[in-house]
Amino acid sequence: MRASPLSAPDFLRGSVTSPSADREPIGVAVVGAGYWGPNLVRNFSGSAAFRLTSVVDLDVARARKVLGAYSTVEATNDLDAVLANPGVGAVAIATPAGTHLEVALKALRAGKHVLVEKPLAATYADGLKLVSEAEGRGLTVMCDHTYCYTPAVTRIREALHSGELGELHYLDSVRINLGLVQRDIDVIWDLAPHDLSILDFVLPDGVFPVSVSAHGADPIGAGNSCVGYLTLALNTGAIAHIHVNWLSPIKVRTTIVGGSKRTLVWDDLNPTQRIGIYDRGVDVATPDELGVDERRSIQVSYRSGDMIAPALVEKEALGQMVNAFAEAIHTGTPSLTDGRAGLRVLEILEAASRSLADGGAAIPLESAR
C-alpha cells in the first residue's frame, strides 16, 4: 500500500542533499518555461548533481529569457531533438497537467528519467501509464511534491514515525487565501494536492486513507467549487480533514497533527515559529486500569504540559527535491515522492470529485484494498 523505500532516518538527516563527488553530473533538460519552469532551471543550475543542458518551450524567446542573456544553455522548442541527445539523462516537466502524459511518455521511451510537476497527470489512468512505463524500463519517475521537502514537513514526518506524538488521532489542515479562480479545475484539484501529498508523506507505515468524502461550494458562480472540504477516514480510525478556499480575505497555512502523546502545530506563515509541539491533551484511562464499575464510565483527564518550538534549519525545498531526484537515479531507490506517491494523490482527487458529484458520499479508495 504505502511504500517508504528511502529510509526516514537517512532522508531526515539530509543524506540526499550532498551528492557524492565521484558521481558524474546528470544531464537534465527542463521542459516548460512558464510559471514553475524558472524555479526548476534555477535549482538544477545550482545543483552539483546535475548539468542543465536545455530549456524547452514552444516560445523560445521565453526560454531564453529564463536562462538570461549570458547563459550557454540551449533554448529550444524541439523536444524530439533534446530527447535524442545522449547527453540528456533526465527530463523535468513543468507544462500544464493535460500535457504531462504525452511529454513524460516521450521522455521515458527515449530512456530518460523523469521529474513531473504536480499533479503527476490529469487522471489516475494517465498517471498509471507513466508509472508502468517507467517501472517496465527500470527508469525513475518522480513527482515534484515540493512541500514534502520543506524542513517543517520532514520534521512532522519524523515526529510521527518516531512515535514522538504517539498514535495519530487526527490531522487538520487549512490552506485558504484570496486566490486565482481557475476555469478548468476546482479549488480541490488546485490546492488540495499540496496537503494530500504532505499527508501521504508524513503518515507512519501501515497507516493509510481508506475513504474520502468531499463537500464544495461555488457561491460566485465560477462554474467550479471555490470552497472545498475533504474528510479522509484512515484505517486506524483516525481522521484527516483538509479545508481549501479561493475566497478567503486572509491567507492561512496551518496544519494541526494530534497524537495520543503530543500535538504538533505547523504555521507555515510564521517564520519565527513554524512548528510548536504541545504536551497538552486528553488522557483516557484504559480498561485494565479501572474497576468493573468504573469501566462503565471511562475516566478522562486533561494534561497541560510544556510547548517546545524545534529549531529548523532553513533549506530551499526545491533544492532538496532536486537532489532527492539525483539520489533516486543513482541508486535506483524510489524517492518518497515517487510515481506511486503521485498516483495515491490522484486517486484521492478523483474519488473526491465523485464524492462532490454524489452529495458528499464517502468513496472507498481502491488502493486501500
How far is Cα 254 from Cα 14, in angstroms, rounded to an integer? 25
Give the tens place of pLDDT for each residue, 249-307.
999 999 999 999 999 999 999 988 999 999 876 666 665 655 555 655 566 666 677 88
Domain CATH for 251: 3.30.360.10
Which residue in this structure is represented by grid cell 486517486?
Answer: 347
How far is Cα 142 from Cα 335, in angstroms, rounded to an integer? 7
Asked if the structure places residue 342 within a domain, the reply is no
Query: Mapping DSSP to helix (H, G, I), strand (E, B) and coil, where does residue 260 land?
Result: coil
pLDDT of residue 281: 65
Name the percent of the chain lying above pLDDT 70: 88
- Domains contained in the chain, number: 2
Domain CATH for 97: 3.40.50.720
The predicted model scores a pTM of 0.87
The torsion angle over the Cα atoms of residues 327, 332, 335 and 341, rounded to 10 degrees, is 160
How far is Cα 224 from Cα 179, in angstroms, rounded to an integer? 14
Cα dist. 346→145, 161, 261, 277, 366 in Å? 12, 24, 32, 31, 12
Same domain, 114 and 192: no
Asked if the structure places residue 2 within a domain, the reply is no
Asked if the structure places residue 1 within a domain, the reply is no
Asked if the structure places residue 50 within a domain, the reply is yes
Give the tens place of pLDDT for each residue, 14-30.
444 444 557 899 999 99
Asked if the structure places residue 3 within a domain, the reply is no
Give the tens place of pLDDT for each residue, 138-172.
999 999 999 999 999 999 999 999 999 999 999 99
